[in-house]
Chains A and B, each alone.
Chain A
Amino acid sequence: MNIHIPTPLRTYTGGQETVSVPGATVNAVFEQLTAKFPELKQHLFTAEGKLRSFVNVYLNDEDLRYLPEKEATTVKENDELTIIPSIAGGSVCCCPLK
């Protein structure tokens, strides 16, 4: 299946925006992905092997966190996985105008 890689992580996929790896579940796909591109692992997972809190993963248009079987979800060859780090922030904790 195809996995779409966000800009910052393409350094570790040889510049590829989309990579294709086999796998019957999301977990299996991630294992194949990090076997093929080992440097990706530390950027996606914690030392305990959990997805980093700011890393969002979408299976087609579904947030993996909200799928009943999460990483154990079965995937098909033409499904697409998108890795997308979160975007947030704000002026709180910033000094007010004088």
Chain B
Amino acid sequence: MSFVLKREELPHFSRHILAKGYSLFAPVKVNARSSFRKIEDGRVEDISLDYIRTTMPPLKTLLIPPREVMLRIRDGKIEEVLPDPNAKTVVLGVHSCDVNAMNLLERVYMDRPKDPYFEARRNNLIVIALNCKNADEYCFCTSFGTGPSLEEGFDLLLTDLGDRFLMEVGSRKGAELIEDFYMPKASSTDFMEKDDSIRRVKGMIRRHVNTAGIQRVMTGALYNPIWNELAEKCTGCGSCNMVCPTCFCFNVVDEPELDSGSVLRTRTWDGCLLWEYAEVALGGNFRRDLSARIRQFVNHKMNYWLNQYGSLGCVGCGRCVEQCPAKIDITNIVARLRGETL
């Protein structure tokens, strides 16, 4: 079933979601950029679906919070600190690259044994995706078939048609969310306009990764001098890890909660570009050299993921390219290794 939501009814639709008791996350403008924020106090007017890319990946940030207490240990008892099973959340306006990245995270975290924290949040999450209306010089989702539009993996899917949105239903959760919100049915004209819009966005995407036989290319380049050359520029800051929607690594630390006498076993995001990532006892470090850490990041996305989880680990969102302070560009690395650049 597909419907039409008039643009001016978007706030009304958002209020409908809030009225049903969901927490609502949606993009809002923050200092000229867009960021996914919890929509509090019915401030649905703040929602702005005109955006290309948020700096932080919304679904990773919701499903694997940057800092998360896993266990509380007190008086010889271990208490699981699981997400509230009733905390149902809707995230509105997620682009296709990020929805596909969530599907990749599911392969890691829902692989047995399942991660109960991820699972609880995922089960309570409704994703209202948004096909892209614009692209910029960093986008390269078309290389991985992960955008700029979605065919599946969403609960509801919006396509911006100017004065209205086409709303497609992708799951029972999605259907239930709108069953008591009246919208007129979509027509074939709406779908024709959707196709035109997606075709137009595809034409805007200039960046590209040639994925044909990419594993052979990457494995053949493990000892290429390019990694040492990149290490001259890279600062090892780990920004690429943090903004990547498929980077899933975490560190675990025990934090004392002094006033309660508890220990909080807490996990935080970690990244393979960081020096401590592969450090072991006595100062041993299996990736002491920055070149080895860059090689790990690029090969994990463009090579090892395929062996581990059945698809490449990049969705072409462009965040690592846009955010790198050294202007290191994963698409250019692959192109150079393929001999496709000068």
Answer yes or no: are A and B bound together in one complex. no
